[in-house]
């Protein structure tokens, strides 16, 4: 019995030995992939980054494309006997840089590839690639960076850069990896999920010298990168470039909208920067310089700068008061400067009694002081204080339907909502003390606590052009094969004010340009322009120059909002810029070239 048990044990040992031998034979002879891997030392997983979607203008012209570049990866355990001085010379780094980068790579892993040098240009790649076999352990990985057809619209287009640790931690989708590039601002951020595409993977065999020897198992485990979707913007490149030219050397903004669709034709933030500066190896250096510029070129003024609206707010005041029934187009008020000061001139002397169109045309402050008083003081409360609260909150509700007091929802990040005061605001401001209309009357003429952002005033102008409704302004009209914007940008938003009252506002705005405060610089031959000037108080600094306009009067094609900071009267800088932009868009030319030097010089006296 013991003898048979010994045979059984010997048989088990023999069987185990046979199995091991077969496994070794299978690995080393039958399975070529394992033999190749053993002979060549490494199977390396490489990320294949997708091409980021392109960005086009409304006419199919390319705005943002991709430019090839390369990242240099290192596997520290494979770096042996290299000429460090020659290596540093080829990629343009110092020996100290080499030591620091290698130490960082070793701290990450001795046997796994990590980033050594990023964003090597195509030219540097061509020079270095010929010597790659001299530097075992180093591998070049293709990437792309952004390139720009024109140095325009930087604040709208945005930029991409390497994902931060905070962004990685907040990535609930777990899509991103360290070293990935991601949209940081503008359209690059808003449409990131469409533009980024889907990364792929490739398993490649490399020898100990870092030279690629082929795909592992003929690519059976590889996945292809899926390119991002290209997007078509609403931007008119020619108009955008012209707007930026007119705003050169100035601080402020331009927003131009197509009223019938809400598409943004141009959006200028000034000062700005050349978008090419935030690409490639010099990104960090340039970003630091731009972000520390005292003029704040990264600050997107059309969406983020909050100003008092000034006299352009008299248009919305008129519409709300007519809808509420406290005035009619024929209501007259005396220009009583004991109530509030007025910009009196030859066509509008002290004591003039204007109807509504005339009051808008000549921007009569006392008229709108009395319009707002009728709106707020309707004698429905048991005291002037209660009355003011009821009337102000009713007014606030109307104003918000025009898109003021909250972000509109444009497809760009960082949009601010401005501020339209209500009774709760003044309760807080007065800390429990009573207040009434005589305490808040400056909001009647667009001063005081009213704050709007330029995109809101352009949207309001488009609303008047449409006689009572608007589409949320947007910058993308198509994604991939779709020729439509996202659903939210195809919905009409109505103000609740009767379209007949808008015809009164349109008539008044036409008169402003024909013979009122905007006639000298916004009036155009052959185009009926409807506009309104604004001179926004900015104590103790010079006033801001503001102008809104749309054209033509019937079937409008363009609505414009222009803010020029510290440039004085709205009838000067802002009106001149608006007129030039309207003419440029409708006629594709400018017959008033004499006006360009006035704007470009920037001396608005």
Query: Whole-angstrom distance between the N-terminal and C-terminal Cα of the chain?
Result: 120
- What pLDDT score was predicted for residue 378? 86
CATH code at position 227: 3.90.1310.10
pLDDT grade, residue 15 (50/70/90)? low
CATH code at position 458: 3.40.710.10
pLDDT grade, residue 22 (50/70/90)? low
- What pLDDT score was predicted for residue 207? 63
- What pLDDT score was predicted for residue 395? 96
On the question of pLDDT at 567 being above 90, the answer is no
Cβ contact 280:66 at 8 Å: no
On the question of pLDDT at 168 being above 50, the answer is yes
Residues 421, 562, single domain; the answer is yes
- In tens, the pLDDT along 393-416 reads 999 999 999 999 999 999 999 999
**Is 291 among the domain residues?**
no
pLDDT grade, residue 91 (50/70/90)? confident
Rounded distance, CA 76 to CA 155, Å?
A: 41
- What pLDDT score was predicted for residue 286? 95
Tell me the mean pLDDT in the region 488-500. Answer: 97
CA angle 138, 142, 145 (to 5 degrees): 125
**Is 108 among the domain residues?**
yes
Residues 146, 89, single domain; the answer is yes
Residues 248, 201, single domain; the answer is no
Tell me the mean pLDDT in the region 138-144. Answer: 86
Closest alpha carbon to 413 in 280, 299, 272: 299
**Is 279 among the domain residues?**
no
- What pLDDT score was predicted for residue 595? 84
How far, in whole angstroms, is CA 419 from its chain's centroid? 21
Residues 247, 190, single domain; the answer is no
Tell me the mean pLDDT in the region 256-284. Answer: 96
**Is 295 among the domain residues?**
no
Phi and psi at residue 347, to the nearest 5°: -85, -5
Left if phi > 0, otherwise alpha if psi is -120 to 50, otherwise beta: which for 399? Answer: alpha
Rounded distance, CA 145 to CA 279, Å?
A: 6
- What pLDDT score was predicted for residue 17? 60
**What is the number of structural domains in the chain?**
3
- Secondary structure in 3-state letters for 127-184: HHHCCHHHCCCEEEEEEEEEEECCCCCHHHHCCEEECCHHHHHCCCCCCCCCCCEEEC
- What pLDDT score was predicted for residue 140? 87
Q: What is the mean pLDDT of the chain?
A: 89
Residues 111, 96, single domain; the answer is yes
On the question of pLDDT at 5 being above 60, the answer is no
Higher pLDDT, 93 or 240: 240
Token pair for 138: 């180093």
Residues 581, 432, single domain; the answer is yes
On the question of pLDDT at 2 being above 60, the answer is no
Residues 224, 251, single domain; the answer is no
- In tens, the pLDDT along 577-605 reads 999 999 999 998 776 777 888 888 877 76
Residues 190, 339, single domain; the answer is no
* Residue 168, CA distances (Å) to 52, 173, 175, 180 in order: 19, 10, 9, 10
On the question of pLDDT at 392 being above 90, the answer is yes
Residues 565, 488, single domain; the answer is yes
* Residue 479, CA distances (Å) to 154, 230, 239, 476 in order: 20, 6, 22, 8
**Is 163 among the domain residues?**
yes
Residues 22, 50, single domain; the answer is no
- What pLDDT score was predicted for residue 16? 57
CA angle 530, 257, 446 (to 5 degrees): 60
pLDDT grade, residue 127 (50/70/90)? confident
Residues 465, 588, single domain; the answer is yes
**Is 139 among the domain residues?**
yes
**Is 281 among the domain residues?**
no
Left if phi > 0, otherwise alpha if psi is -120 to 50, otherwise beta: which for 299? Answer: beta
- What pLDDT score was predicted for residue 183? 96
Token pair for 68: 């090839």
- What pLDDT score was predicted for residue 281? 83
Residues 131, 195, single domain; the answer is yes
Tell me the mean pLDDT in the region 525-534. Answer: 93
On the question of pLDDT at 209 being above 80, the answer is no
Q: What residue numbers bound the domain in which 83 lies?
A: 44-233
On the question of pLDDT at 568 being above 80, the answer is no
CA angle 362, 367, 368 (to 5 degrees): 100
- What pLDDT score was predicted for residue 160? 96
Final residue belonging to a domain, choices 202, 233, 264? 233
**Is 24 among the domain residues?**
yes
- In tens, the pLDDT along 73-90 reads 998 988 988 999 999 998
> pTM here?
0.87
- In tens, the pLDDT along 23-76 reads 555 545 555 555 544 444 567 777 888 999 999 999 999 999 999 889 899 989
On the question of pLDDT at 179 being above 90, the answer is no
On the question of pLDDT at 309 being above 80, the answer is yes
């Amino acid at each position: 019995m013991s003898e048979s048990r010994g045979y059984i044990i010997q048989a088990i040992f023999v069987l185990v030995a046979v199995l091991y031998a077969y496994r070794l034979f299978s690995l080393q002879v039958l399975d070529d992939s394992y033999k190749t891997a053993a002979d060549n030392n490494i199977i390396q997983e490489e990320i294949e980054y997708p091409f980021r979607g392109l960005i086009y203008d409304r006419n199919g012209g390319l705005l943002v494309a991709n430019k090839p570049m390369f990242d240099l990866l290192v596997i520290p355990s494979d770096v042996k006997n290299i000429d460090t001085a020659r290596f540093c010379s080829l990629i343009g780094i110092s020996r100290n840089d080499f030591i620091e980068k290698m130490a960082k790579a070793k701290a990450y892993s001795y046997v796994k590839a990590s980033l050594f040098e990023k964003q090597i240009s195509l030219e540097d790649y061509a020079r270095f690639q010929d010597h790659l076999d001299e530097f075992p352990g180093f591998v070049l990985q293709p990437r792309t960076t952004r390139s720009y057809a024109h140095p325009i619209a930087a604040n709208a287009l945005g930029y991409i850069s390497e994902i931060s640790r905070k962004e990685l931690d907040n990535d609930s989708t777990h899509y991103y990896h360290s070293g990935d590039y991601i949209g940081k601002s503008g359209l690059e951020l808003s449409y990131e999920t469409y533009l980024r595409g889907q990364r792929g993977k490739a398993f490649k065999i490399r020898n100990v010298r870092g030279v690629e020897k082929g795909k592992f198992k003929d690519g059976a485990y590889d996945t292809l990168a899926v390119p991002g979707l290209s997007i078509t913007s609403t931007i008119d490149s020619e108009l955008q470039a012209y707007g930026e030219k007119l705003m050169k050397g100035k601080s402020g903004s331009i927003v131009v909208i197509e009223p019938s669709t809400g598409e943004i034709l141009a959006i200028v933030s000034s000062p700005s920067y050349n978008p090419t500066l935030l690409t490639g190896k010099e990104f960090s250096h340039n970003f630091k310089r731009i972000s520390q510029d005292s003029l704040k070129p990264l600050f997107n003024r059309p969406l983020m700068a909050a100003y008092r609206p000034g006299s352009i707010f008299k248009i919305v005041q008129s519409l709300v008061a007519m809808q509420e029934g406290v005035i009619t187009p024929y209501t007259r008020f005396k220009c009583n400067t004991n109530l509030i000061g007025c910009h009196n001139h030859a066509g509008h002397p002290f004591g003039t009694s204007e109807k509504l169109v005339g009051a808008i045309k000549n921007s009569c402050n006392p008229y709108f002081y009395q319009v707002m008083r009728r709106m707020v003081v309707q004698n429905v409360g048991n005291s002037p204080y209660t009355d003011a609260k009821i009337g102000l909150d009713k007014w606030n509700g109307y104003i918000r339907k025009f898109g003021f007091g909250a972000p509109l929802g444009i497809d760009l990040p960082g949009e601010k909502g401005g501020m339209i005061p209500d009774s709760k605001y003044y309760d807080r401001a007065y800390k429990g003390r009573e207040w009434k209309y005589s305490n808040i009357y400056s909001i009647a003429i667009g001063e005081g606590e009213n704050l709007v952002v330029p995109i809101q005033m352009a949207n309001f102008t488009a609303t008047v052009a449409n006689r009572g409704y608007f589409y949320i302004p947007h910058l993308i009209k198509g994604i991939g094969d779709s020729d439509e914007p996202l659903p939210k940008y195809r919905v009409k938003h109505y103000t609740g004010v009767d379209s007949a009252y808008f015809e009164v506002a349109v008539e008044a705005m036409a008169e402003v340009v024909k013979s009122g405060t905007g006639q000298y610089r916004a009036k155009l031959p052959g185009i009926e322009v409807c506009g309104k000037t604004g001179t926004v108080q900015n104590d103790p600094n010079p006033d801001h120059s503001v102008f809104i306009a749309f054209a033509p009067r019937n079937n409008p094609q363009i609505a414009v909002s222009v803010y020029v900071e510290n440039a004085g009267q709205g009838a000067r800088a802002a009106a001149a810029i608006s007129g030039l932009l309207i003419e440029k868009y409708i006629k594709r030319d400018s017959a008033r070239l004499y006006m360009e030097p006035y704007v470009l010089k920037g001396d608005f006296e």
